[in-house]
Amino acid sequence: MSAVARFVVLEGGDATGKSTQMHHLATRLRDAGHDVVETFEPGATRLGARLRTLLLDEDGPLDPIAEALLMAADRAEHVAEVVRPALQRGAWVLSDRFVPSSLAYQGVGRGLGVGEVGQLNELATAGLEPDLVVVLDLAPEVARERLGMSRDRMEGENDAFALAVHEAYRDLARSRGWSIVDASPDVDAVATAIWAVVEEHLAP
Ligand code: TMP
């Protein structure tokens, strides 16, 4: 099979099932004969792992601009070390989060502005755009129940923050052509819905 590089990003609020769904999609693509790299943000590189600890394991608030810059630093390293090299060899790269997370969480959730955070991320990614963004959509109250009591710094944000992020994903998906998949059914049903979106847009 000739190798056609593809960059697919799975997005959504916390506890929407992104990582489980990414593994399902990766398995399906590998079964179809593709070279697949599964990755994530923040934290997929050596620098990123340290940034992830700073971003998520510390207690208490972080200045929103510092937070956006650290997410962008993680992303710059991730693009340079993982994403671009894999795309250059013709792999499918599946990433659990990318720029859309910063637009939704920092741009809208923290109120920094989608335009400003977008510009910062242009620099971080050198303009790399995903071929497909799939947003897993789950009501924040259902996601809260799935999260339970063990929460990191971002997951511990209040309900208003989770709601703002949820609405931001919906609005941004509409304006930017991202695909939305209902994440409330069982794992297999969601996997089937994601596969249908991938087939429709990228004909794997
Ligand atoms: P994860 O637990 O899905 O890996 O996500 C880590 C947390 O970081 C999650 O609450 C979303 C948040 N986040 C941002 O706020 N901005 C970003 O750019 C990224 C990648 C993640």
DSSP string, 137-189: E--HHHHHHHH-S---TTTTS-HHHHHHHHHHHHHHHHHHT-EEEE--S-HHH
pLDDT at residue 1 above 70? no
The pTM is what? Answer: 0.97
CA of 156 to the centre of ligand 1 (A): 12
CA atoms of 153 and 20, how far apart (whole Å): 21
Collapsing DSSP to helix, strand or coil, 150 comes out as coil
CA atoms of 87 and 187, how far apart (whole Å): 28
In this predicted model, what pLDDT tens digit does every residue of 82-130 receive, in sequence order? 999 999 999 999 999 999 999 999 999 999 999 999 999 999 999 999 9
State CA 181 to chain mean position distance: 14
Are residues 93 and 6 in contact, defined by beta-carbon separation less than 8 angstroms? yes
User: Quick one: average pLDDT of 171-199?
Assistant: 98
Query: In the structure encoding, which two tokens stand for residue 56, read together?
Result: 């998520």
- Closest by CA position to 30, among listed 59, 53, 1, 70: 1
pLDDT of residue 27: 98
Q: Is the CB of 74 under 6 A from ligand 1?
A: no
pLDDT of residue 147: 86
User: Quick one: average pLDDT of 177-187?
Assistant: 98
Mutate to test the pocket of ligand 1, among 9, 82, 101 (most ligand atoms within 8 A of CB): 101
Please, what CATH class does the domain formed by 6-202 belong to?
alpha beta
CA atoms of 129 and 150, how far apart (whole Å): 33
Q: Is the CB of 42 under 6 A from ligand 1?
A: yes
CA atoms of 161 and 3, how far apart (whole Å): 41
In this predicted model, what pLDDT tens digit does every residue of 25-84 receive, in sequence order? 999 999 999 999 999 999 999 999 999 999 999 888 899 999 999 999 999 999 999 999
In this predicted model, what pLDDT tens digit does every residue of 131-176 receive, in sequence order? 999 999 999 999 989 988 788 988 889 999 999 999 999 999 999 9
Query: In the structure encoding, which two tokens stand for residue 97, read together?
Result: 């989060």
